[in-house]
């Protein structure tokens, strides 16, 4: 019986890996496509609205919060196979019937989202609450928080390598499609202004690994690692932007002052995303 379970598990993993391979192949030609502007005039959005943005892939989301300048969107994925089994499924009346909640959320400038998004529906308050609760669970799993297993032991939660890579790729695709790098408040620094590459590589030799463009969320920020362009980008949450703070990398203060939307560290060695998250530290003053 255990042998049959093992075979089924390996078969399922193989299917997931093939699906991810197919998705990555598609992204090679589609990654640079931006979301299209489909509105001549800005539309009004409300909390609970379901929206779609058109680009290389139709991208769905739910408006969960609105401020004077930005709208927070929890994104919904259309790939049911590569999504977590814990993700809440939703029925929508559009070109696809079923989408699932993801751990991906972004605060998008209103002038951008209101021109490139189309409202296709709305969910009631009780369902919105379930979406937010499920999104929070997925975020905690993605961040590796611990939970009790079947035996009562506390173990780190995980999506597994394949599903986590899919979420990383999706987050990166959405960021690029929104072209958020064009925001005014971007601070760029060089890794070599603070570290000697040779010493850094020697110190972390066993933990360094080249990766494709990938992202992971932290407490109030998103890390995006672009190994191809030797860059590490930190996208800060609205609650931090404009406040005074310090950002450390490997124990050294690399930025101090008003927190920008994006901090970009260029000329960085081929650091792994996991190591990058361990080495980055944000302190609000």
Q: Report the range of poorest mean pLDDT among 38-42, 134-138, 186-190.
A: 38-42
Is the pLDDT assigned to residue 211 strictly greater than 60? no
For the chain, the domains span 33-146+158-171, 183-284
Structure-token match 């993700």, residue found:
87
Does residue 107 have a pLDDT over 90?
Answer: no
What span, in angstroms and rounded, lies between the C-alpha atoms of 58 and 137?
A: 25
pLDDT the model gives residue 87: 94
Distances (CA, A) of 147 to 60, 102, 156: 30, 19, 6
What is the model's pLDDT at position 213? 46
User: Residue 209 — very low, low, confident or very high, per pLDDT cuts 50/70/90?
Assistant: low
Sign of CA dihedral 103, 59, 260, 72: negative
Cα–Cα separations (whole angstroms), residue 8 to 11, 14, 84: 5, 10, 18
* pLDDT at residue 219 in the model: 76
CATH 2.30.30.110 fits 33-146+158-171, yes or no: yes
pLDDT at 171: 83
Does residue 135 have a pLDDT over 90?
yes
- What is the longest distance spanned by two Cα atoms in the chain? 61
Under the banding of pLDDT at 50, 70 and 90, the label for residue 75 is very high
Question: Mean pLDDT highest for which of 83-92, 161-170, 190-199?
Answer: 83-92
d(CA 268, CA 101): 33
**CA nearest 159: which of 104, 210, 237, 206?**
104
Mean pLDDT calculated for residue range 16-28: 84
User: Higher model confidence: residue 268 or residue 212?
Assistant: 268
Q: Is the pLDDT of residue 166 over 80?
A: yes
- Band the pLDDT of 154: cuts 50, 70, 90: low
- The proportion of the chain whose per-residue pLDDT surpasses 70, expressed as a percent, equals 83
Helices and strands (DSSP H and E) totals, the chain: 6, 16
Q: How confident is the model at residue 214 (pLDDT cuts 50, 70, 90)?
A: low
What is the rounded average pLDDT for all residues in the chain? 82
What was the pLDDT predicted at 183?
53
């Amino acid at each position: 019986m255990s042998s049959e379970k093992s075979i089924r598990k390996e078969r399922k993993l193989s299917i997931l890996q093939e699906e991810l391979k197919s998705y990555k192949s598609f992204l090679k030609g589609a990654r640079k496509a931006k979301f299209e502007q489909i509105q001549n005039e800005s539309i009004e959005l409300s909390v609970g609205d379901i929206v779609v943005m058109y680009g290389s892939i139709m991208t769905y989301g739910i408006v969960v919060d609105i401020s004077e300048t930005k709208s927070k969107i929890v994104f919904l994925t259309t790939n049911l196979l590569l999504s977590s089994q814990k993700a809440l499924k939703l029925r929508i009346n559009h070109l696809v019937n079923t989408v699932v909640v993801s751990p991906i959320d972004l605060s998008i400038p209103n002038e951008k989202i209101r021109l490139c998004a189309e409202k296709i529906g709305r969910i009631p308050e009780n369902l919105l609450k379930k979406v937010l609760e499920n999104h929070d669970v997925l975020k905690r799993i993605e961040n590796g928080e611990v939970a009790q297993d079947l035996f009562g032991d506390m173990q780190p939660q995980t999506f597994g390598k394949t599903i986590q890579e899919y979420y990383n790729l999706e987050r990166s695709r959405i960021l690029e499609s929104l072209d958020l790098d064009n925001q005014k408040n971007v601070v760029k620094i060089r890794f070599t202004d603070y570290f000697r590459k040779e010493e850094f590589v020697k110190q972390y030799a066993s933990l360094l690994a080249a990766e494709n463009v990938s992202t992971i969320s932290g407490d109030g920020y998103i890390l995006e690692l672009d190994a191809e362009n030797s860059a590490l980008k930190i996208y800060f949450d609205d609650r931090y932007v404009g406040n005074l703070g310090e950002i450390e990398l490997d124990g050294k203060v690399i930025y101090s002052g008003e927190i920008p939307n994006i901090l970009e560290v260029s000329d960085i060695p081929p650091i792994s995303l996991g190591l990058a998250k361990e080495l980055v530290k944000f302190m609000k003053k």
